[in-house]
Amino acid sequence: MSRADAPIASVTATVIDLPSRLAGTEIASPMDVFPEHRRRRASWYGSMSGVVVQVAADDAVGVGWTQGGHAVAALVEHHLGPLLTGKDSADVDGLWELARRACYPYGTDGLAAMARSALDLALWDLRGRRSGLPVHRLLGGTGRPLPVYASGNDLEYHQSLGFAASKIGLDHGPCDGDDGVRAVRATIAAARERAGAGHELMADAWMGWTPRFVRLVAPALAEAEVAWLEEPLPPDRPADHAGLVESLGPVRLATGEHLYSIESFARLIDAGVHVLQPDISWCGGLTAARRICDLAHEHGVEVALHLGGGPWGVHLSSAHPACRRAEWYVGSMPGEPLSAEPTIFTGVRYPDSGVISPGEDPGFGVTVDPTELARYRA
């Protein structure tokens, strides 16, 4: 356990812009109804710049991470951070609740949840650093290694790196009419042929489909033995998910990365969703994600944290029995090592032959590189 009575001395938030392949990746989206934005995520995605939050107390600094750019940084530095300053940094649960209630006047989801996530992660990191323990040990874990699935469409590259599973993005949807149905069917069939029979496949529609479109392409997903279809509907339509479960047949339904409350995930469980996918740096931090995992485990539902192989997610993924695997977005280019993707952190652990473990360094095990922080500061 971490030592008590370590008041928070300061809270800072720094916005960074890291080069990324993600925003330029073509994928179906809820903005496809507007022709000028169809399959052009970079044309509307807006400020999803990274935000590094650092919480200092006693002789240590905890580090957290989220996105949301300057809007989130403002919430941290001008509202939530000052509320936490002077409070006992070891009271992680109490500070999580304080910050959540403080957001009621403008809403607790979205950008507010992202801000609280970074603060919560920084507090967990601080707790680990002060106790000398990795976060997964604080959660009762043993450092269990996890199989990792690679996200991206470079299937041959994934296999060359030792991944045995991949999640591909699907770039057509209902706005493409019958051509969209044919395109998705062709994409799925081609992906299965490229991957081979022994490589597990998942598919992501990133909020860009409708229940009818899912029904039309479900047979092709089943024929290609796709393990799950991810986030086919916008997050504000939980009632429609129950029908999708029946439409998909043997293909499991996964969703949740754009939800921000424990209650929202409870509704997904009630709808029969097979795999919950909270993002630990968006949904309220480790404290919230752990409660979502607890709820899922009680109902026999798997949790696959969005980008759960990264420094913030791998500790919970390793420690919690609801988690069976971790996701890694492949931001490097074919032929490069995974470590070629730009980062401001040192100590990042990368999948090795399709497996990752959280390591034994204190906290989340990563440290801000001040030179890289200054280089990418927005």
Residues taking part in catalysis = 306
Of 137, 139, 91, the residue nearest 286 (C-alpha): 139
* Number of Cβ atoms within 10 Å of the Cβ of 139: 19
**Backbone Cα Rg of the chain:** 20
In whole angstroms, what separates CA 37 from the centre of its chain?
24
Output the DSSP codes for 43-75: GT-----EEEEEEEETTEEEEEEEE-HHHHHHH
Element (H, E) at 303: strand 302-303
Rounded (10°) CA dihedral 347, 351, 356, 357: -20
Question: Do the Cβ atoms of 316 and 139 come closer than 8 Å?
Answer: yes
Of 172, 226, 236, 184, the residue nearest 201 (C-alpha): 226
At residue 28, the 3 state secondary structure works out as coil
Question: Do the Cβ atoms of 19 and 93 come closer than 8 Å?
Answer: no
* Number of Cβ atoms within 10 Å of the Cβ of 281: 29
List of residues 6+ apart from 107 with CB closer than 8 A: none
